Every structure is written in C-alpha cells, then in structure tokens.
Structure 1
Amino acid sequence: MRALLVDDEQLPLMHLQRLLEKDVGGVKVVGAYTNPLEAIDQAISLQPDVVFLDINMPRISGLEIGERLQGIDNSPEIVFVTGYDKYAVDAFELCALDYIMKPVQLQRLQKTMDRLRERIKSAKEAAPVKEESVVSIQCFNSILFHQPNQEPQEIKWRTNKARELFAYLLHHRNKMIDKDSIIELLWPDYDGSKGVTQLYTTIYLIRQTLKRYGLQTISINKGNLEGGYKLTIDSATIDVEEWESRLKQLLPLSLANIQEYEQVLATYTGDYFGDYDYLWAEYERERLRRMWLQLAKTMSSFYLGHGRVREAINVNQRIQNLHPLEEDSYMILMQLYASLDDHAAVEEQYQLLTSRWETELGSAANEHITKWYHIWKQETEGK
C-alpha cells in the first residue's frame, strides 16, 4: 500500500512514517512533506492509495489539500491527523476515511489501516465492468441514478447540504459557479473562513459519494485561480433534458401520433426536484410545469373534440394531481361526469373545488362554475 504524508512539523512526520513502515507493515511511504503545496504537486505522479494530512498547517489547511486531491484521477483516501482542533474533527469525520489524534498511537493507527484495507478491497469488488454505458440522472421528484441493468439508485447523502450542492451544480451543469455565490446560497450565516471550510468539506463529500456509487462519469472540477466549481457529466443523460427534447420534437397532434403524446405526458412523473424545497430551482420548476400543463390541455381539447370522454377524464385528472388549482379541469370533469350521469363524481368535483379554493386561496370558486353546478343540480333533482 502506498502512503503519502503531509505535516508542517518534521518530528511528527518521521514518527508516523516509522510506525507505518516498521510497525504496521505492508506500507510504503512514497512521500513525506512538510511543504503541503509540494505534496499536492507530487501526488499526481506518486499516486498514493492514502494520504495522511495534518489539519492545522500555517500555509494551507489539510481540508483544502484534501479537497484538491479529490480533483485528481484515482483520488486517494484521506486520513486527517490533528492535535486538538475538535471543530475540524467534527467536519472532517463527515467525509474522510478516518482521523487520528496526535501523538499517533500504534494501536489506533492499526485500526485505521484495517479500515483502509477493507475499503480498498470493497472498492475493487464493487468496481463496475468497463463498458460503454449511459447513466441516466432523474431530476423529476427525487434525484435518482439509473445505471444499465440495475435498479434505480437513490444516493444516501451524508448531509442535506451535500445533496443540495450536488443538485445546484447539476442545475448549472457545465458552467463554472463562483465559490462565493455557493457559500452565500448554502451557508449565508457563516463568516468567510467557516463558509470556505463548509464548502471544501461538502465538495469533498460529494466526490467521495459519487465514487462510492461508481458514478465516475460525473465529476466536479475546480476553476482556475480557485474561482469556483463546475459539474460535468460524461456519457450521462438527464431526464428533464430528454423530456423537453421529446416535447419539442412532437408533430402537430393527430390520431396517428396521439400515443407519442401520451408517452411524453406520462414521462413527466413529478416536479423538477419536487421532493426538495429548493427556492433556487423554482423558476425552472415552474417553467417545466407550464410546458407540461400546455401539453395536457392540448390533449384534453383533442380528446373532447373527438368525443373520447374517458381519455379526456384521464388527462384532466392528471392535471388536477399536478396542478390542483387549475380551475378549468374541475369544470371539464364536472361536465364529462354529467354526460355519463355519474352524479356522485360531479358532486365530488364541486366539493373538491370549493374546499381547495377556500383552504388554499381563501376565496369562493369561480361564479361561472358555481352557476353551472347549481343549474345542473336543479335539473337533476327535477328529474
């Protein structure tokens, strides 16, 4: 096993190297550096399996080194070493393989190496077969990953902030996002240094999570001059992009292509990041909702014009599920149910309409709909 050591003090560095090579065994220290910047430069060519990082260094923090190392190919595991900084330990425990308190004890170090060997063994066993495969990322409702010949995966993010930052970078995919803008969005109450710490930790955590799930086709790259981050996806598709592309390619609606319209309508399974309360996604969420609604209304009019009552009912029920305050759907459904002499369904629609308007909007239903309902009610009672 190849290890790289970084500590700004020479004595702790020598002590750790001696423990690893002589007492633990099976470890080759390929580099031991008191200059952290030099260690970063050498890590690419040395390709260590693990990097032991001192947390508290004057020129650059161990956290930032770890964050940079995660940006290289075949990124190593990280073990943080600290003398006293409990705040840092709490943060690093989220994303590092382990952390060790100074002075490093052999028994504690041995436990870390056992964990490391197990991690490497598991990673090799779980390594996906290299093939030309396409990962599909689902953004409707929840974030899910669809890999060939596998069930959809919902990643278990270690923190909600990690999930949101991934979603935010995915939303702005292939664009460099300024570091300060991310901190202002996700950690607005943190001062400069704590905000940067949280950002580095979370980026580190996202990279480790994607690696653990075998999603190496998705990567987060750091901008020049440390200005920001960009998420890129290679040989991967995104369901909202695919859906919008299919929608725009639809020919004018006819009996010949109605099934294609139905497929596009059904593919929209829920709102964009609908399971998460991300205010920054609201504009895109509403834009896609309106596109779907226009499609559904077009199909409703088509079915009504061709006397296909059951299909029209189905479409308007779906409209209500996604757009419960879309008033026209209640009117259309009441008229359709009335044409089928389904009085209970008409009553149910009217009660649903009035209760939703009162609860959600604090107002009465549209006078035109109310008038139609009362006329229908009198006519049915008079029969």
Structure 2
Amino acid sequence: MRTILVDDERLALAQLKKLLERDIGDIEVIGMYTDPLQVCDQARKLRPDAVFLDIQMPGIDGLELAERLQSAVPEAEIVFVTAYDQYAVQAFELHALDYVMKPVQLDRLQKTIDRLKDRILSSCDNGTAEEPPVISCFHQIKFQLPGGQPLSVKWRTSKAQELFAYLLHHRDRTVDRETLFELLWPDFDSIRAAKQLYTTIYHIRQTLKSAGLQAVTIHSGELEVGYKLTIGEARLDVAEWEARLKRLPALEAGHMEEHEQVLGMYIGHYLGEVEYLWSEHERERLRRLWMHHAEGLSDYYLERGMIVAALQVNQRIQHYLPYDEESYFTLMKLYDSLGDTAGVEDQYWLLTSRLERELDSAVSPAITKWYDSWKEQRGRARLAGV
C-alpha cells in the first residue's frame, strides 16, 4: 500500500513513517509533507492509496485539504490524525475512512491499516465487474451495483442529497461556487458557505465511495471556482429511457412488447420524491414525453378494440398523473364498454374527490354531462328490467 503523510510537525511525520514501514510493514511511504499547500499537486503525480492527514495545520483547514485531495485523487482514502478529544473526533469519523489519535499507538494504527486494505480490495473487486453501475433518478435517487438491486442512498444531510442531485443534473459541466452558495446557503457569507460546500462535497464523495460508485467523480474546476460531476461508465436511468423512447419503431403489432417495456421503465417522475424547484422544467419535459407515448399506446389499443390493454395503460397514466381528467374519462368509458358499472362509479367518485376536495376545482362539464347521461340510461335500463 502506497501512502503519503501530511503533518506540520517533522517529528510526528518521522514517527508515523517508522510505525507504518517498520512496525506494521507492507506499507510504502511515498511522500511526507509539512506544507499542506504542496500536497495536492504531489498527490496527483504520486497517486497514493491513502493519505494520513493532520487536522490542525497552519494555512489550511484539514477538512478543506481533504476535500481538495478527494478532487485531486478521488481513489485515495483519507485517514485523519488528530489530537482532538474523543467528542470532537466523532464529527470527523462521519466522513473519513478512519481517524487516529495522537500520540499514535501501534495497535490502533494496525486496525486502520486493516480497514484500508479491506476498502482497497473491495474497490478492486467492484472495478472488475462486467456491467456498469446504474444511477436511478425516477422518483428518487438510487444506486444499483452490477448484479444487485437498486438501493436508496443514505445521505449524510439533505444538503448533500440536493448538491449531488444538482451536480448530476448538470453533469459534465462545471458549476461555479457562487451558484452553489446561492442555491444551498443563500443566507451565509462566502466564507461560511465555502466551508459548508467543502464539507458537503466531502460527504458526497464518501457516500459514493461507500456505495461502490468509483466511476462517479466530482472534480474541482479551474482555480477551484466550481465543481463538475462525471459518471464515467455508470448508466443513468432517465437518459437510457429517453434514448430508448426516441429509438422506438412505429406502433405496429410486431413492436408492442418493446413499447410496453419502455412505458414500464418510467417508474416515477424525475426526482419526484424531493421535487426541487430547479428540476421542475426537466421533470415536466420528461413527464410530457412519457404522457405522449402512453396516450399513443392507449389510442392504438382503443382503435383495435383491445379494451383490457387500453385499460391498463390508462390506469398507469392515472397513477402517475392523478389530476389528469382525461384518464378518468377514458377509464369510465372503458369500464362501461365492459359492463362494469362499479368501475364507472368508482372513477367518477375518485375524480370528483381529487378535484373538488384536493384542488377545490370542479369536474369538467363534458365529463359531468356524460356521467349524468350514463346514470340516466342505467336507470331506464333497470326500470325496463334489462
């Protein structure tokens, strides 16, 4: 394992180097630095597996330097070395792989090295997977590793979740820091906002690493004026869905299975669980694309008298767009054609309930007129004994 050490005290560096190389072994210290401002450039050249980083150093905060290192060498693990008491250390433990208290004890350092080796080995195993990981944005953000199931992400804070979502939304583009300050910390001055941003970026990187998504990285822009997220070989569900939608062949008998598959790939609105204001335009654009496709499928089935298939499509429309009157009206007529009186009644009641009680809005006159006429016909039919 190749490591670099950062501490403003030369004696502390020498002691840690001796413990790592002589007492533990199988560790190569490839760089030692007392000036933290030199570390990032050297780390880019040396590509260490791990960095042992003192927290209290002149000129730069340890958390800020750790954030810069994660940008310079995202594959490197960070271990904090600190003289803080145990209560303060708990805060750092949340976003570092480990911490070591000063004075450094050999047995405690051995546990850290064991954790480092396990993490590096795990990263190598994930990197050999044949299939790329998947990032899901329909409804909520989930990560899916090859061979696994989509899993919800345990974000350190809501700010970390939104910052990741925002950078993912603007992936492959550098977003300047001022934009991020205004989005997430509009009431903070630039110094406080910068510290929050450094820490939040660090949390995101640790979350990605813990999830096995080494392909997804966040880079500092030129002169660190912003950040850019790239997803590497990882796949994005919304992008794949839109690409498949645009490649669909014409609605014909031989292609209906493919059309149904693409319809089913839409499992919720874009970032629908959180509904960030900045994502509303994209959410609406994707929603309209899906709706246009669903309505096309419904029309295809209706024209061919495939009532059950049309029913299923409109039920799905209603599920994702519960205030779309047309789906209720279509379902009422479909249930009527099947002779399902209860189905018609349920759809009209559900529409009335949602519009009048939830939106304080009336059902459209055309639907009310159709329903009243249907009720009248049903009444006459009962009187006639039909």
TM-score, normalized by the shorter chain, greater than 0.5: yes
Quote how far apart the aligned CAs of 1:26 are: 6.6
Structure 1 pair 340–56 and aligned structure 2 pair: CA distance change class (3 A): same
Quote how far apart the aligned CAs of 1:225 are: 0.9
Instruction: Indicate conservation of the 8 Å contact 2:79/2:97, yes or no.
Output: yes
Amino acid at match of 1:178: D
Structure 1 pair 305–89 and aligned structure 2 pair: CA distance change class (3 A): same
Query: Does 322-331 or 16-25 show the bigger shift?
Result: 16-25
Structure 1 pair 171–88 and aligned structure 2 pair: CA distance change class (3 A): farther
Q: Identify which of 318, 321, 329 aligns with 2:319.
A: 321
Instruction: Indicate conservation of the 8 Å contact 2:352/2:362, yes or no.
Output: yes
Q: CA RMSD in A?
A: 2.8
Determine the C-alpha separation between the residues in 1 that align with 2:128 and 2:26.
29
| 2:56 paired with 1:59 | no
Instruction: Indicate conservation of the 8 Å contact 2:50/2:78, yes or no.
Output: yes
Quote how far apart the aligned CAs of 1:348 are: 0.5
* Equivalent in the alignment of 1:289: 287
Amino acid at match of 2:63: L
Amino acid at match of 2:330: I
* Equivalent in the alignment of 1:151: 149
SS of the residue aligned with 1:221?
A: strand
Unaligned residue ranges in structure 1 (runs of 5+): none
Amino acid at match of 2:120: A
Determine the C-alpha separation between the residues in 2 that align with 1:257 and 1:25.
62
Determine the C-alpha separation between the residues in 2 that align with 1:363 and 1:182.
38
Quote how far apart the aligned CAs of 1:319 are: 0.9
Structure 1 pair 87–69 and aligned structure 2 pair: CA distance change class (3 A): farther
* Equivalent in the alignment of 2:80: 80
Q: Identify which of 161, 170, 179 aligns with 2:177.
A: 179
* Equivalent in the alignment of 2:384: none
Q: Identify which of 232, 235, 244 aligns with 2:233.
A: 235
* Equivalent in the alignment of 1:216: 214
Determine the C-alpha separation between the residues in 2 that align with 1:282 and 1:86.
44
Cα-to-partner distance string for 1:205-256 (whole Å, 9 max, x where unaligned) = 2223323333222221111111111111222322211211222223442334
Unaligned residue ranges in structure 2 (runs of 5+): 382-386
| 2:94 paired with 1:97 | no
Quote how far apart the aligned CAs of 1:381 are: 1.6
Query: Does 249-258 or 135-144 show the bigger shift?
Result: 249-258
Instruction: Indicate conservation of the 8 Å contact 1:316/1:329, yes or no.
Output: yes
Quote how far apart the aligned CAs of 1:290 are: 1.1
Structure 1 pair 164–376 and aligned structure 2 pair: CA distance change class (3 A): same
* Equivalent in the alignment of 1:341: 339
* Equivalent in the alignment of 1:38: 38
Q: Sequence identity, in percent? A: 52
Amino acid at match of 1:98: D
Instruction: Indicate conservation of the 8 Å contact 1:98/1:112, yes or no.
Output: no
Structure 1 pair 366–131 and aligned structure 2 pair: CA distance change class (3 A): closer
Structure 1 pair 116–21 and aligned structure 2 pair: CA distance change class (3 A): closer
Structure 1 pair 361–340 and aligned structure 2 pair: CA distance change class (3 A): same
- What is the number of residues matched between the two proteins? 380
Amino acid at match of 1:184: E
Query: Does 197-206 or 151-160 show the bigger shift?
Result: 151-160
Structure 1 pair 255–224 and aligned structure 2 pair: CA distance change class (3 A): same
Amino acid at match of 2:209: K
Structure 1 pair 300–211 and aligned structure 2 pair: CA distance change class (3 A): same
Quote how far apart the aligned CAs of 1:345 are: 0.8
SS of the residue aligned with 1:65?
A: helix
Instruction: Indicate conservation of the 8 Å contact 2:136/2:238, yes or no.
Output: yes
TM-score, length of structure 1 as denominator length: 0.88
SS of the residue aligned with 1:269?
A: coil
Q: Identify which of 197, 201, 204 aligns with 1:203.
A: 201
Instruction: Indicate conservation of the 8 Å contact 1:265/1:292, yes or no.
Output: yes
| 2:144 paired with 1:162 | no
Determine the C-alpha separation between the residues in 2 that align with 1:357 and 1:22.
74
SS of the residue aligned with 1:71?
A: helix
TM-score, length of structure 2 as denominator length: 0.87
